[in-house]
């Protein structure tokens, strides 16, 4: 089984900074510290209203991230311009509407196949790996493969919601979809509401899970446990 990498989403740190209009906490230093304590990637999801990560943050992070830089977002014209200039290791495309509070569904890769194929081809000109945020459906995954995407990222909100009610039922669709991903040779990432309670079970039941992106829960844990300890606890879950 492949080892699963931990990418830390630092949006919430930027949200906290923006609430006071100064540079406390320092988003760039936080990213450096995440890497120093063992994180294997940094994820950001800049939105049009810049309510947390700003465009300036993205360009600044380009110069300091030494592990893997992952930029998430809806492929609008200005977003694609920024991504193609920054050239992160990975771009995760999400189907968010403007002003959406948080990502809550994956792409309809069947009806949007032509659009996504064009966008992905543009990103690949700059050697950017592309992942598509998606629900655990074989039909959607098959269509994602046809767009030229390198990976999919499972939207794990439903899994996290149902985990304590019936974890076997919560994971079933994701395990089946992951096996299909392996059959057609498309990589697997995952993210949304994964935390110290549900992460290990998810990873154990998703064959060849390459990467998880975790932000909200990880920042919550930092408030109680401290950043270094929290990073180590998440890495331990993925061992």
> Catalytic positions, please?
45, 72, 192
Rg (CA), the chain: 17
Asked if 161 contacts 125 with a C-beta cutoff of 8 angstroms, the reply is no
CA distance 211 to 225: 23
Do 153 and 132 touch, CB atoms closer than 8 A?
Answer: yes
Backbone angles phi, psi at 164, to 5 degrees: -80, -15
Map tokens 């990502």 to a residue: 103
- Cβ-based neighbours of 80, under 8 Å, separated by 6 or more: 119, 122, 123
Q: Helix, strand or coil for residue 27? A: helix
How large is the angle between the packed helices 27-36 and 11-18, nearest 10 degrees? 150
The number of beta carbons lying within 10 Å of the beta carbon of residue 119 is 22
- Measured distance CA(59)–CA(82) in Å, rounded: 8
Return the ∠ at Cα 5 (arms to 37 and 2), rounded to 5°. Answer: 135
């Amino acid at each position: 089984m492949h080892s699963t990498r931990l990418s830390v989403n630092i949006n919430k740190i930027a949200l906290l900074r923006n609430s006071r209009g100064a540079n406390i906490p320092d988003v760039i230093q936080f990213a450096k510290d995440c890497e120093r304590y063992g994180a294997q990637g940094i994820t950001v999801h800049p939105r049009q209203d810049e309510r947390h990560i700003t465009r300036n943050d993205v360009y600044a992070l380009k110069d300091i991230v030494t592990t893997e830089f992952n930029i998430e977002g809806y492929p609008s014209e200005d977003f694609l311009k920024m991504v193609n200039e920054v050239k992160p290791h990975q771009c995760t495309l999400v189907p968010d509407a403007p002003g959406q509070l948080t990502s809550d569904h994956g792409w309809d890769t069947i009806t949007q196949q032509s659009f996504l194929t064009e966008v992905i081809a543009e990103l690949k000109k700059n050697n950017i790996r592309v992942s598509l945020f998606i629900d655990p459906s074989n039909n959607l995954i098959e269509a994602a493969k046809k767009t030229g995407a390198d990976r999919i990222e499972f939207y794990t909100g439903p899994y996290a919601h149902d985990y304590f009610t019936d974890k076997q039922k919560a994971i079933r669709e994701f395990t089946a979809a992951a096996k299909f991903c392996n059959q057609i040779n498309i990589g697997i990432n995952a993210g949304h509401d994964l935390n110290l309670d549900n992460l290990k079970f998810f990873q154990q039941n998703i064959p060849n899970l390459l990467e998880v992106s975790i932000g909200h829960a990880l920042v919550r844990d930092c408030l109680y446990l401290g950043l270094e300890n929290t990073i180590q606890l998440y890495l331990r879950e993925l061992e």
